[in-house]
A and B are shown apart, each in its own frame.
Chain A
């Protein structure tokens, strides 16, 4: 498990630590961007298998290009571009494989959709990063309520956080208000 301090490092610091061979920095990068990477094939309506292939290919590309990423101020922008290209590549491969052998036609131009996806994914990542900036209690609560794939019940959340069930609703409301304030500071309404 990655130590909490790694969450505080920025992308450039994590990439530099990766290049020095620190596996926990790599783990922190993957955990920071796993949803961003996966969300793009999901938005392309890929199957789970294809989305997983894209995720793997992008992780490999990230390792291969670590030296270049050292100079990137925002790894997220590089990842969005790389993942989107990979999705377009996979889609065009699928199109070719499924097509007849007569003419190789390109799939419909996805550029309009791609721009829409890029905006959504960037916004989503900003929300995630803003959740990371919240006080621990709020961050843990929102992560359990919204990011945990097991969808824990209020009883489970109560046990994990040691918080009465009746307090979860009001605490969540206050945490969301704090999140709104952080997002406004970052220019997102």
Chain B
């Protein structure tokens, strides 16, 4: 038996087979399991592909996702500063909420980042009343050494928005900054640690 060509089967799947040829094509599909299987597979494949169009995120959203990496993309000045991306080792948002606990407003988010033997502890508190957040943290080493007078920067959209320095015990504060997605970086002698430390409106 001579099989239908894949082009003819696709034309049938699309519904464009000429009326005069249709009975012949259908007769063949009815009697040929191979062509019938190919028709079914092509139909499923086209359905899969068409469904995928609905899953295309808006281009500005994709661009936002790509630009998240922006601060690391910028070359270090003079190429001498080593840039390290800190690993998130603890996040209260990853922990289940305590049963039966009720509170007004979002709870503070506590995060712990680690880069080598340096830990950075960060707490983000959201102030619903004025749509701002306060970010406090501490830079610590595993040897209980304090990083005092260390520059800490808060960046958003690739621009340094706020700068501060740690106190004697390595603590820093950014008080009531507007809600946004921030990247925090800490300039240590070992290199610049970048933390993707953010306020998430929906989390």
Question: Which A residues are within 8 Å of any B CB, using their own CB?
Answer: 18-19, 21, 23, 26-27, 30-31, 34-39, 42, 48, 50-57, 59-60, 63-68, 86, 89-90, 93, 104, 123-124, 127-128, 142, 145-149, 151, 169-170, 172-174, 176-177, 179-180, 183, 189
Q: When A and B form their complex, which 9 residue pairs have the shortest distance between CB atoms, in order from nearest?
A: A39-B55, A173-B10, A23-B73, A67-B87, A146-B49, A38-B57, A26-B69, A59-B65, A64-B88
Is B69 a contact of A63 with CB atoms below 8 Å?
Answer: yes
Interface of chain B: mostly helix, strand, loop or mixed: helix
Q: How large is the interface on B (under 10, 10 to 19, 20 to 34, 35 or more residues)?
A: 35 or more
Contact code string B14-26 (vs A, CB < 8 Å = 1, else 0) = 0000000000000
Is A189 a contact of B7 with CB atoms below 8 Å?
Answer: no
A170 to B72, CA, bound (A): 46
Of B49, B66, B88, B201, which is within 8 A of A27 by CB? B66
Is B41 a contact of A42 with CB atoms below 8 Å?
Answer: no
Contact code string B25-67 (vs A, CB < 8 Å = 1, else 0) = 0000000000000100110111011111111111101101110
Is B200 a contact of A57 with CB atoms below 8 Å?
Answer: yes
Contacts of B59 in A (CB 8 A): 149
Is B56 a contact of A147 with CB atoms below 8 Å?
Answer: yes
Is B45 a contact of A170 with CB atoms below 8 Å?
Answer: no
Which single residue of chain B is at the shortest CB-CB distance from A104?
B102
Question: Which B residues are within 8 Å of any A CB, using their own CB?
Answer: 5-7, 9-11, 38, 41-42, 44-46, 48-59, 61-62, 64-66, 68-70, 72-73, 83, 85, 87-88, 91, 102, 181, 196, 198, 200-203
Contacts of A35 in B (CB 8 A): 52, 55-57
Interface of chain A: mostly helix, strand, loop or mixed: helix
Contacts of A63 in B (CB 8 A): 68-69, 196
A98 to B38, CA, bound (A): 49
A37 to B55, CA, bound (A): 9
Is A146 a contact of B53 with CB atoms below 8 Å?
Answer: yes
Which single residue of chain A is at the shortest CB-CB distance from B197?
A64
Contacts of B203 in A (CB 8 A): 57, 86, 89
Of B46, B50, B72, B201, which is within 8 A of A21 by CB? B72
A38-B55, A56-B65, A170-B7 known; A127+B49 contact, CB < 8 A: yes
Is A34 a contact of B57 with CB atoms below 8 Å?
Answer: yes
Besides A55-B65, A63-B69, A149-B53, 8 more A-B contacts (Cβ < 8 Å) are A19-B85, A53-B202, A55-B61, A56-B200, A59-B64, A173-B10, A176-B10, A180-B41
